[in-house]
Amino acid sequence: MSPSEAQAYIMGNVKKTEEILLSLGKSLGFYLSRPVISEDGEMVLEKGERIDGRKLFLMKRKNVKEVWVHRKPRIFVGIENDHLRQILLLLSVEEGFEIGISKADFFITGYKPQRVKFLVSGVDQDPASNLAVFTYESGVMGFFVDGSISDAVVSAYIYIFPALRSSFGSSDPYPKKMYLPSANTYKKGLGGRSLFLPARITEDSLVEILDKEDESYLICDALVHIPPDVYKINEEDELEVYLIR
């Protein structure tokens, strides 16, 4: 399964969370399920926006008392490695998400419990080829992530966080994508897989591919997607870039 097929399949199975009415003081961190309109009919915030401190202050100035929001998502992540769990938890906090990230209660290889339905098990890409996505009988969606730091980072930004945004009703759940010229050359080994490589955007709007080391995935501000049929990147080649920070 290709990354785009996996994304589409996951999104097709994400269940929207129900909406609830909250007082303004309890709404910090939630996503709006309806537009916020002031008493005089002015549009204050659009549906789907996340309520942060600045937006909360803006609504208070407009004398907004209550807002309709989505409940927290019914999504969790299972990871065997303690170090990876901490990294993914920090990334989630950085993105403003509150999700359950705990020790996995099963392994993907050799054990598939009856209470879950697997949606995706293995994607034709590197890193995160061992990502698995499943749903419980209760409808809760889960992600299993195993491997290295790069697996956790790519899984988070390409699959997990978009699923979370979609559960809140976001119409644009993916990281911002653009096409930028390459600042350097890169040679991909043979293997026929999609690659997601760490990169940074230069001051002159070029994308520089970084060394494919775990540490680079923690400090990069973008992920470059290289399709399976592309084996060499030359300077100024146009690249598909996901902005993650």
Residue 196 has pLDDT above 90, yes or no: yes
Q: Which two tokens stand for residue 69?
A: 């929001």
Residue 122: the pLDDT is 82
Residue 76 has pLDDT above 80, yes or no: yes
Structural domains in the chain, sorted by start: 3-14+73-167 (3.40.980.10), 19-70 (3.90.105.10), 176-243 (2.40.340.10)
Q: What is the pTM of this model?
A: 0.84
> 91-122 as b/e, with b when 16 or more CB fall inside 10 Å?
bbeebebebebeebebebeeeeeeebeebbee
Mean pLDDT of 146-157: 92
* Residue 112 confidence class, pLDDT cut points 50, 70, 90: low
* Residue 197 confidence class, pLDDT cut points 50, 70, 90: very high
Whether the Cβ atoms of residue 81 and residue 70 lie closer than 8 Å to each other: no
Mean pLDDT of 213-219: 91
Residue 51 has pLDDT above 90, yes or no: no
Which is higher by pLDDT, 219 or 72? 219
Residue 227: the pLDDT is 92
CA 173 to chain centre: 8
Whether the Cβ atoms of residue 99 and residue 78 lie closer than 8 Å to each other: no
* Residue 165 confidence class, pLDDT cut points 50, 70, 90: confident
* Residue 155 confidence class, pLDDT cut points 50, 70, 90: very high
